[in-house]
Amino acid sequence: MRRGVTVFKDEGRSDLAPVLGVLLRAAVAAALAEYVDGERPIPRRWLLTPVPSSPAATRVRGRFPLGEVVRASLHSDRAGAEQRTLVEASLLRASRRTVDQSHLTRAQRGANVAGAFALAGAREAHVPEECGVVLVDDVVTSGATLASAHDVLVRGGYDPVLLAAVAATPDAGARGDA
């Protein structure tokens, strides 16, 4: 799976977006199905927010692959099956440079992405309070990227914030950590 995402992102295989979109849609549906809040109504509108790529990666690729997957997930065959409205919303931006995490340990990944994201702008007045956010990533290994981005959204007043990913891989980077 990781190889498929890499081919899609770095080798220009945009034709894989619909397949990855279906997988993301399943992950989003699972996250929404597991969400329970006994204190308030469950939001009917959810903002699908991709973890942003760095400006440099976007320039090199000439596109924002995760955004393509999010859009494809909204057009998958299952798109009309839920009782919720899902819309794409880019609520985050990269706020500083990070290094490629593929060879980093869990601790190094956490340090690498700490403070790496910021809200894309002031929380928009038109975003209704009854909206939830589903933060999405392509591949989760240690969870450091999602955790860092999640913290920014929560500090920015978004609640609830659920997490979903196209794929998860074993945390190979954690083997060297104590």
What is the dihedral angle through the alpha carbons of 60, 153, 146, 72, rounded to the nearest 10 degrees?
A: -60
Domain residues for the domain of 79 are 2-6+20-33+42-170
Axis crossing angle, helix 17-34 with helix 65-74, rounded to the nearest 10: 70
Residue 12 located in a structural domain: no
178 within some domain: no
DSSP 88: E
Q: Is residue 89 part of a domain?
A: yes
* Chain centroid, CA 160 distance in Å: 14
Look at residue 144 and tell me whether its pLDDT is greater than 70.
Answer: yes
Q: Which of 138, 157, 152 has the alpha carbon at shortest distance from 66?
A: 138
d(CA 122, CA 157): 10
- Please check whether residue 154 lies inside any domain of the structure: yes
Kindly state whether residue 13 falls inside one of the protein's structural domains.
no
CA distance 17 to 33: 24
Give tens-digit pLDDT for 51-108.
998 888 888 888 999 999 999 999 875 544 456 789 999 999 999 988 888 788 889 9
Within-domain flag for 153: yes
Count of structural domains, the chain: 1
Task: Tell me the pLDDT tens digit for each residue of 93-121.
Answer: 999 988 888 788 889 999 999 999 999 97
Q: Indicate whether 14 belongs to any domain.
A: no
176 occurs within a structural domain: no
Helices (H), 11-54: 17-34
Amino acid 117: pLDDT: 95
pLDDT, residue 175, reads 39
User: Any idea what the CATH number is for the domain that residue 49 is in?
Assistant: 3.40.50
Higher-scoring residue by pLDDT: 161, 37: 161
